[in-house]
Each structure stands twice: as C-alpha cells, then as structure tokens.
A and B are shown apart, each in its own frame.
Chain A
C-alpha cells in the first residue's frame, strides 16, 4: 500500500499545552479513517498541521510522496487534499450554488476574468453535488441563510468539488440532527467511494464510527493512543476509559 499521508515526529505546543506530541502517523490509499478523542485532545490541531494551516515545531509531513512540511495550505490542496472544517468555512455572501461554482473554478487552476462564473464550470456536476448533499432546493439562497447542519454539508461539498485524493472532514455530522446523521454519512461515503477518495473524518458518535470507518485512531492528549480496526480500538481499555467513559 502507498502512504497517502505520513507524518514523523510531528509536534506542536501552544504555551504549556502540548497539542501534538511526537506523532508518527500514516494513512494509506483507500482507507476510511475515523478519528476519535475528547475535546481538546488535538484532533483539529493535527489536521491543521497536516494541511499547512499551522507549522509544527518539530517533525515532517509527506502527502502523496511529497514533503509538504511548512507549505501553505493552497499548495498542499493543489496536490489533492480537500478539507472541511469543524466551523464551516463558506462564502457567506454568495449563494450555495456559487460556493460550489467557485470551488469548481478553483480546481481548474486559472480563474477567468470575463467569463461568467456559472458558465466556466460544469453545470451538471454542480447540480449533482448539490443533489448529493440535499441542497438543491436551496441552491439559489445565500450560504448565510443556511442552518448549521446544512452549512456543514456545503462545507464538505466545497471540498469534494476539488476532486481530492484525500478528504479530511472535521466533525461532518456535528450540528446535523441525530436522525439524519446516518443518511448523511451513508451518502457521503457513497460519494467518496464513487470517486475513489480516501477519507479521514473526526467523529464523536461511536455508532457512526463503527459503522463507516475501516480504521479508527484514538487521540489522547496530543498522542495517538490507539490505532487499528474499529472493533479493536473501541474495545481497548485506554479508549474505553479516557474517551468513551464506559470502563
């Protein structure tokens, strides 16, 4: 298997808080990784380092064979990494459809100056993606008018629009009503499989983790405390005690 993303000795502290503590990690093509961990364990920080948003104090990151340590997010994104955020990052003054159109246009690299945005992207693809995240009816509304759950979906859809090799989703189902979570994950996973996208999502809901992940990594205090098949990790003593609170 080829490592799609790999880190070595990745470390970062904020003042006295060690948010990433010497992390060695790898994710292979085709995996579906769920990351679990308590609030403040460093799950988002690790994503931020891997995607170039934060610079590590020590350690290196390779994405798709290239050393991307210290690179800006936009360069890493160009290598095929898409990301959605814990707090959705949308163009709130644009319509839902325009958000996806800007994504699609960005994927092509050069932005046109005079061709209308809607005409410089593949309309079918936009509608298909809207459909996928059940936002078709709201396509012409401003992104700022969406409730939190739908903002998350749009955020994921914008990243998906880039046709990434790896999609990292930071808590895609938080803010989504619990009865809709499974539908949403099933749809997302289908879309990812269809496009052969390797995925990595942060999730607090154990049900969802065990159902959709092929691998689970448990974060405790800036470290990967357990990593492996879902059943194994979820059953491990440390995870049960520190994360699930069931031991």
Chain B
C-alpha cells in the first residue's frame, strides 16, 4: 500500500523545493530562511507542548541569541558567522538554564505567563537602553565571513539557505530522537502524571528543565540565524507577538512529530506571503481562520492529520494540547 505520508520523502521533497525556489527566485531566499528559522524555534516550543506546557515568552531566547550575535559582530567584525551563531546559542542556553530553574516550578497558565513576563522585561530593557542596544531601531550587523570565506550578498544568502536547511533537517532528526528517548517520553509524562514520575524516582522539574534547556537552545539558534540573514536585530525579535507566533505554528503543525514544526512554519509563511501580495492588511484574519480550521478539523495539527490518514497509524495520542473542551475528568 502506498503511504500517503512518508516523513523521509516529505523531508527530501520539502528540502529540494526550498533549494529550487531559493535558487530560481533569489528574492525567496530570505523568506525561506525565515520560515526555516521559525520551524527551528517551533521545534523548541513543541517540546514544551509535549510536556503540556505552553510558553508565551520563548522568543526571548531568539532575542538573547540575536543580540549576542549583534554585540559580538560589532565588537569584533572579523569574527566568523559560525562562531557568532555558536555564541548566540551558547548565550540562549545559559539564559535558559537560569530562567528554567524558576519556571519549571510552575505549570499551565502560570508557566505560560511567567515566561511571557520575563520576555516582556527583556523586551523593554532592550528598548530603553538606546546607547547600547540601539533601542527600537535595533543594531545593524555587517555581513561576517562564513567558514573564513567572504561572500557577496547573494552568495551569503545562498550559503545561509543551505546551512539553515541542513541545520533544520539535522535538528528535526535530533529532536525527534529526543522525543522518543527515555527522557523525551518522561517529558511527555509530565503532561499526564507527575505523581507517577515522582514515584518512579524521577524529578519532574528536572525532566522539564532538561526539555526547557533544549527548547531555549533551539529558539536561540533560530534567533542567531534570523539576525544574520536580516543583517539587523530589533527588539521585535523577542516580542510577545513573536512568541505567540511560535505557539501558533506549533498548534498548526502539531507536535506529534518533529516535522510538524516545519509543516506549520511553511503554511504560516505561505499564508503570510500570499496575504501580503493579494490581501494586504488582513493577513491576521487569514491566519486566524487557518487556525480555527485546524483546531476544528485537526486538533493534533497538520502532522496529526497526515499521520492519521497514513498507514503509519500507531496508537493515537490525544491532542498534545489536552482535551479541547472540558473533558478532563481524570484527576490524580
């Protein structure tokens, strides 16, 4: 029986499409890289979703990484792009490790709002300290070398496109492995039964902290790449709207499989591009309608729908978001 949904074929087809489009229409390189960045960030947010937690502040890690890249690139223009990215990811991991210690004590709405609150503080601090951060104008980043080679704008974008694509595929595989590892399954156990986790000798907070660190690093990487491709960081990279978009994409794509993050990001970017071209001003409405349709017909997101349609059908989980309506009878 032919599979409707084979992740490998889908990944290869999607990657080729990105490359062909990017090379055939140079203007599309930036939106494709941005879309991939959104996908990478959403991988991180989806990890939290598997634990039943929704963060409305994760863009702060993109912000931390993005500004780290900008500060370093301005202080040492000779630094290589790859080093800048690593430094950005390192900074977001460091911040995630510290913030994580606090936020993993909370669940549900408190977890979501605490992340939001921290990201808002960061956002306004960056907006206020004009002398250092350039305020709302942000900071320009001159094109760095990549692996020691200097590129023209077009070449730089092509290398970034290929690099981001490879990173996206690699991270997708890595995150999927994490989801299916002992640690990743325990993370999903936080959603259903922390009492049992404790009685297995595990610390639910520690399990969530591990996942949180993962997610901070992923969002951080997306932020570093985003800053480089734009050649600019502004506080908007860490705004609560951006955090909301990650959550939006996570719902849209579904967190049943890592590829959901990229499917969601692709639909998100396409709707935005389409609306920008043909229906200026109402792209939020289009996105809103898309989300409503998804929640109604595919509460497990695009990936859930595809998996259900395909012969892959392993026993289905309920929607990673918990029950849509108030069907949650079960209490420990």
Contact = CB atoms under 8 A, between A and B. Distances in A.
Interface of A: 51, 53, 72-75, 77-78, 82-83, 85, 87, 89-95, 98, 101-103, 105-107, 109, 111-117, 120-121, 140-142, 144, 158-159, 162
**8 closest Cβ contacts across the A-B interface?**
A105-B182, A106-B200, A111-B183, A77-B201, A111-B182, A89-B196, A73-B198, A78-B201
Interface in B264-307: none
B58 to A, nearest CB: 20
Interface in B94-140: none
Given A77-B200, A142-B317, 5 more contacts: A51-B199, A92-B192, A92-B330, A94-B192, A113-B183
A103 B182 contact: no
A141 B316 CA distance: 9
A90 B181 contact: no
Contacts of B183: 111-113
A109 B317 CA distance: 27
B315 A141 contact: yes
B308 interface: no
B315 A95 contact: yes
A105 B199 CA distance: 13
B332 A102 contact: no
Contact of B182 (A77, A90, A115, A159): A115
B299 to A, nearest CB: 14
A117 B201 contact: no
Contact of B200 (A94, A102, A112, A144): A102
Contacts of A85: 195
Given A93-B317, A102-B189, A114 B201 contact: no
Contacts of A115: 181-182
Given A78-B201, A112-B181, A116-B180, A94 B196 contact: no
Contact of B186 (A82, A106, A109, A116): A106
Contacts of B198: 72-74, 77
A91 B202 contact: no
Contact of B201 (A74, A121, A140, A144): A74
Contacts of B332: 87, 89
A75 B200 CA distance: 10
Given A74-B201, A92-B330, A93-B317, A117 B185 contact: yes
B184 interface: yes
A245 to B, nearest CB: 31
30 contacts: A51-B199, A53-B195, A72-B198, A73-B199, A74-B202, A74-B203, A78-B201, A83-B199, A90-B193, A90-B196, A91-B185, A91-B192, A91-B193, A92-B192, A92-B193, A93-B318, A94-B192, A102-B189, A102-B200, A105-B185, A109-B201, A111-B182, A111-B183, A114-B174, A114-B178, A114-B181, A115-B181, A116-B180, A120-B181, A159-B199
Nearest to B330: A92
Nearest to B188: A93
A116 B177 contact: yes
- Could you say which of B174, B181, B196 has the most chain A C-beta atoms within 10 Å of its C-beta? B196
B311 to A, nearest CB: 15
Contacts of A117: 180-182, 184-185
